[in-house]
Chain A
């Protein structure tokens, strides 16, 4: 029964950690706009955590530049399981207009499994809220899978 309560809490209290891998900051602005009174994603329990060790959902924005790829992978190793990765915008998925550049290593699927991809350039905050909500459901499923 406690395990069920813990799995339920996993859905109700996801902490976000944001990693910017070379983004233009458009998607970053929309992410922090979600924390403003108008969209208020805190009513679902979301909170921006300061350290990757406190994170449940890692939000990645930006086409993964060569310099930040190693740091991104190191950061992802430090996140305790279970966790989800959510990508914002089209940059992490394909590099958007930076496709084919010598310093851009998108798509991010090459080195980590993305749970929810939110498309847009830039994403609308409501889409971020809906995408993050879907990510919490995946988190709960991961926690329940870990229980077995």
Chain B
């Protein structure tokens, strides 16, 4: 019978143990550790790339219509996440960061879901007056910006769209309920004059809506696919793309 480790056993007996003193002393994770996800809804542009690339389908997005707009919530389910960091790699706005917090345990799995909500304001269209206006002038008197002009005698009603801040007071006060905001003009990506057909916008587009052909100098966008994230606008080297109303 051989006793090969007896020297080690004796030296170890009289030396300090090599156990790290956790949980009495906190231990930091190594750099670049991929731990708990942190999501900043303010930076998010709702492109949806993270939902597309997540391999265990741990990221979900839900829309909720509220007064004045829409609430967009992203849920990152840590009990489904495989911590690969692909969402972090693909997020252009760096809204998703895998921190070095490794202490993720809970008695209720619902505590292990990281969520963030962004409120997207609904863009209102222009103020317009419909049939049945009696030119009472109540709207003009209640407008805090004095944007409405009503002339009873000539039966005219005009609004200065530059001054109007779309507060909606006039709509509340109108006795005949003929005032309303029109449907907003749809917004989309508009191509400017300086395009050099480099194709960067097509490459950065998360949904593949843009097609650029350098030889024939053509730039097309599929409006159905576009999610208005604005990544193409940000990355255009000639700053010739912009987000604006389209017909």
Residue numbers of A with Cβ under 8 A of B are 37-40, 43, 90, 93-97, 99, 107, 109, 114-121, 124, 126-127, 129-131, 133-134, 138
Contacts and interface: CB of A to CB of B under 8 A. Distances in A.
Interface stretch (B15-23, B140-148, B198-206): B15-23
A126 B107 contact: no
Q: Is the interface of A mostly helix, strand, loop or mixed?
A: mixed
B80 A38 contact: no
A126 B79 contact: no
Question: SS class of chain B's interface: helix, strand, loop or mixed?
Answer: loop
B2 interface: no
A97 B105 contact: no
A119 B81 CA distance: 8
Interface in B37-85: 55-58, 77-83
10 contacts: A40-B19, A90-B56, A94-B56, A107-B109, A117-B106, A117-B107, A118-B105, A120-B104, A126-B27, A126-B102
A99 B77 CA distance: 13
Interface residues of B, number: 28
B105 A116 contact: yes
Given A38-B20, A39-B20, A99-B57, A119 B105 contact: yes
A119 B82 contact: no
